[in-house]
Chain A
Amino acid sequence: MPEKLNIEFNRETLDLVNKIIKRYPEGRQKSALLPVLHIAQAENHGWLSSETMEYVASLLDIQPIEVFEVASFYSMFNLQPVGNCVIEVCQTGPCMLKGSEEILAHFENRLGIKAGETTADGKFTIKTVECLAACGNAPVIQVGTEYHENLTTQKADDLLEKWQAENKTSHTNPYL
């Protein structure tokens, strides 16, 4: 373990982690990996640095490679830095039928970036994602743990304006 880590959970977050670890049988604390990675990612501005993953490994008493192996498998975990507010636009069939391409293009035009990129001021990242299980209200986007459904370009504009104004971050502890 490195001498001094930049990331360290506060007391409350550590209590939550310990509460989660108790949900599994003795010796099965690795089961807490996904929940703890979600928390760690939120605490580390929305992405998992090597340092963050090493910290998670130390919390769960497992090897850093085990953490990396898992983090790289799941698409919700970002292994590169992202903007403050990550806009995830669903692109799968049912959303496509209802105009998700137009919504994506609209966000791209408004922010001057392509999917997968972050604005120069570090405020926004656009990411395309697969079906969010809300197809009846297509098109759908996700920001942090919020869903925004039945999206129109007008609604997208309203949201962007609101997020700009409040300096929106999508990186909040998902358990709270």
Chain B
Amino acid sequence: MAEKILLKNIDVPGLASFEVYRKLGGYSAVEKVLKNFTPDQVTSEVTKSGLRGRGGAGFPAGMKWGFIDKKTNNPRYFVCNFDESEPGTFKDRHIGQLNPHQLIEGMILGSYALGARTSYIYIRGELFYVLRIIEKAIAEAYKNGFLGENILGSGYSLDLYCQPGAGAYICGEETALLESLEGKRGNPRIKPPFPAVVGLYGCPTVVNNVETIAALPWIINNGGEAYSAVGIGNSKGTKLISACGHINKPGIYEIELGLPVEEFIYSDEYCGGIRPGHTLKAVVAGGSSVPILPANLILKTAEGKPRLMSYESLSEGGFQSGTMLGSGGFIVMDETTCIVKNLLTFAKFYHHESCGQCSPCREGTGWMEKILHRIESGHGTMKDIDLLVDISKHIEGNTICPLGDAAAWPVASAIRHFREEFEEHVKLQKCPF
């Protein structure tokens, strides 16, 4: 890859301190913007960059900012989604822990563009030790005049705070996050209205993922066009992929979008191949919610084209033979993996995390867990397999928020691609692994 955008300095010792970050050119994007850019010019650079939301949905960031009504006198809010709870995803922690000032600088840029005077970083409660690192960095930014009243004499003022969650995956869904930030249960809101119209405390709000926000300083420093020159098709720029499972080198990798999946899995620069003596069986490419693909379909599309790490290529073939880039949580499984058992942990997860507002999700996730448990423990029937498909179909598209879909897709795709393995569990009346 030509140049790293997000992790360029990540190995520099002491990067979490203001001094080191600043010495490496940090906060120059804030200086540039406060001196030379109107808020709308910042938005326009971000639009030009083609940056898409890195939280999972891939919505264009600049377009989302454009939905904010700037004519009202209401306060506006910019909120960072640091809930990072999608199984397989562990990239935001990397930034928060090692380079908090990059996130803070991005928060200042986004807040300025939106006209927010108060902004929040909502971080999952389990990551309190990262919250402390970010709070320390925020204090340094205040001390050095990059936060607070009249930043760098520009007349623009901004307060920035961290807010902990308390163990609820659903609070990663942006409207549930806002409910939680208001001190309530994390029940997703019915959309519309979207947060850009009615968000935090009823005011226009933008929620963006940590990684989306961390890309902003580079985009401002180098220009939106430079960013959009990186990547492929409508997948601009770079993406953090958190790779785990049965690979030689689990970890967080910044890739240029468009990298062949095969290279990502087997090259020593990235995952370093499957652990010795084993072979690739399946991959969940974008966090637990996206469809699982068997080895042949993750490496090549159904038409035999090499599969690339990009929004378009990963979803090529739709749900029949494709998947999604999602959050970039890349879970690799070798031939020793029981697909049913892995799926059971996911089903348990979604059942546990359903907020309970919609009956298809609340009941369906529980049923799916129970049936999968039955099959895995050797008490399943062939009818159970079809029942699972049936339940997943009844959840999909029938719920307030996408958690329902997220629970349904892994089940539907595992049966689509690995049906024999489910049947084997039933025939043997036990787990074959």
How far is A118 from B139 in the complex, measured between Cα atoms in Å? 39
Chain B residues within 8 Å of A93, by CB: 87-88, 284, 288, 331, 342, 345-346, 349
Q: Which residues in A have their C-beta under 8 angstroms from that of B169?
A: 130
Instruction: Assess the B165–A74 pair: CB atoms within 8 A.
Output: yes
Q: Would you list which residues of chain B between 160 and 179 have a CB under 8 Å from chain A? A: 161, 163-169
| Interface of chain A residues 117 through 140 with chain B (CB within 8 A) | 129-138
Question: Is the C-beta of A92 less than 8 angstroms from some C-beta in chain B?
Answer: yes
Please tell me if the beta carbons of A35 and B84 are within 8 angstroms of each other in the complex: no
Give CA–CA (A93, B251) in the complex, Å.
16
Asked if B192 lies at the interface with its beta carbon under 8 angstroms from chain A, I say: no
Q: Is A69 a contact of B87 with CB atoms below 8 Å?
A: no
What sequence of 0s and 1s flags, for each residue 317-340 of chain B, a beta carbon within 8 Å of any chain A beta carbon?
A: 000000000000101010001000
Nearest CB in chain B: distance from A48 CB, A: 11
Bound-complex Cα distance A47 to B164 (A) = 17
Residue contact A34 to B164, C-beta cutoff 8 Å = yes
Q: Identify which of B92, B168, B182, B337 contacts A73 (C-beta below 8 A).
A: B168
Shortest Cβ distance from B97 into chain A, in angstroms? 10
With A133-B127, A135-B244, A175-B132 as contacts: A76 and B185 at CB distance below 8 Å: no
**A137 proximity list for chain B (CB < 8 A):** 250
B182: A residues at CB distance < 8 A: 28, 30-31
Contact A145 B166 (CB under 8 A): no
A70-B183 contact given A92-B349, A135-B331, CB 8 Å threshold = yes
| CB under 8 Å from chain B, chain A span 1-49 | 23, 25, 28, 30-35, 37-38
Contact B244 A136 (CB under 8 A): yes
- Among B127, B184, B349, the residue within 8 A (CB) of A130 is B349
- Report how many residues on chain A are interfacial, defined by Cβ distance under 8 Å: 42
Q: Collect the chain B residues with CB atoms within 8 Å of residue A130's CB.
A: 85, 87, 169, 349, 352-353
Whether the pair A136, B242 counts as a contact (CB closer than 8 A) is yes
**What does the 1/0 interface line of B93-130 toward A look like (CB < 8 Å)?**
10000000000000000000000001010001111110
How many pairs of residues, A versus B, come closer than 8 Å at their CB atoms?
Answer: 153
Q: How far is the CB of A116 from chain B (nearest CB, A)?
A: 13
Shortest Cβ distance from residue B342 to the other chain A in the assembled complex, whole angstroms: 5
| A25 / chain B contacts, CB cutoff of 8 Å | 75, 118, 201
Q: How far is the CA of A138 from the CA of B160 in the complex (A)?
A: 33
Chain A: CB-nearest residue to B126? A132
Residue of B at shortest CB range from A77?
B166
B243 sits at the interface (CB 8 A) = yes
User: Measured between alpha carbons, how far is A147 from B250 in the docked complex, in Å?
Assistant: 17
| With contact pairs A75-B167, A137-B250 given, residues A131 and B129 touching in the complex (Cβ less than 8 Å) | no
CB atoms of B245 and A97 under 8 A apart:
yes
A113 within 8 A of B: no
CB of A146 within 8 A of chain B?
yes
Inter-chain contact A97/B337, CB cutoff 8 Å: yes
Q: Which residues from A are CB-within-8-Å of B93?
A: 133-134
Roughly how many angstroms separate A131 CA and B246 CA in the complex, as a whole number? 17
**A70 x B185 contact (CB < 8 A):** yes
Q: Which chain B residues lie closer than 8 Å to A77 at the CB level?
A: 166-167
CB of A96 closer than 8 Å to a CB of B = yes
Known: A74-B125, A97-B333. A35 touches B163 (CB 8 A): yes
Chain A residues with CB below 8 A from B164, complex form: 34-35, 38, 174
Q: Give the residues in chain B near A145, CB-CB below 8 Å.
A: 128-129, 132
- Is A52 on the interface with B (CB-CB < 8 A)? no
Q: Determine whether the beta carbon of A138 is less than 8 Å from that of B244.
A: yes
Partner of A38, one of B85, B128, B180, B355: B128
Residue of A60, A77, A98, A131 with most chain B CB atoms under a 10 A cut-off: A131
Q: Which residue of A33, A133, A146 is within 8 Å of B84 (Cβ)? A: A133
Q: Which B residues, 223 to 278, have Cβ-Cβ distances below 8 Å to chain A?
A: 242-246, 250-252
Among B92, B128, B169, residue most surrounded by chain A Cβ atoms (within 10 Å)? B128
Q: Tell yes or no: A142 within 8 A of B by CB.
A: yes
User: Is B186 part of the contact surface with A, judged by Cβ < 8 Å?
Assistant: yes
Chain B hits for A28, CB < 8 A: 182, 201
Contact A135 B183 (CB under 8 A): no
Interface string of A139-160 (1 = CB under 8 A from B): 0001001110000000000000
Known: A28-B201, A34-B165. A96 touches B345 (CB 8 A): yes
In the A-B complex, the 4 residue pairs with the smallest Cβ-Cβ separation, listed nearest first, are A74-B166, A76-B167, A33-B183, A30-B183
What are 25 residue pairs bridging A and B, where the CB atoms are less than 8 Å apart in the complex?
A: A23-B118, A23-B161, A25-B201, A28-B201, A30-B184, A32-B183, A34-B163, A70-B183, A74-B166, A74-B168, A77-B166, A77-B167, A92-B349, A93-B88, A93-B288, A96-B342, A97-B246, A131-B89, A133-B84, A133-B92, A136-B250, A136-B251, A138-B244, A174-B131, A174-B164
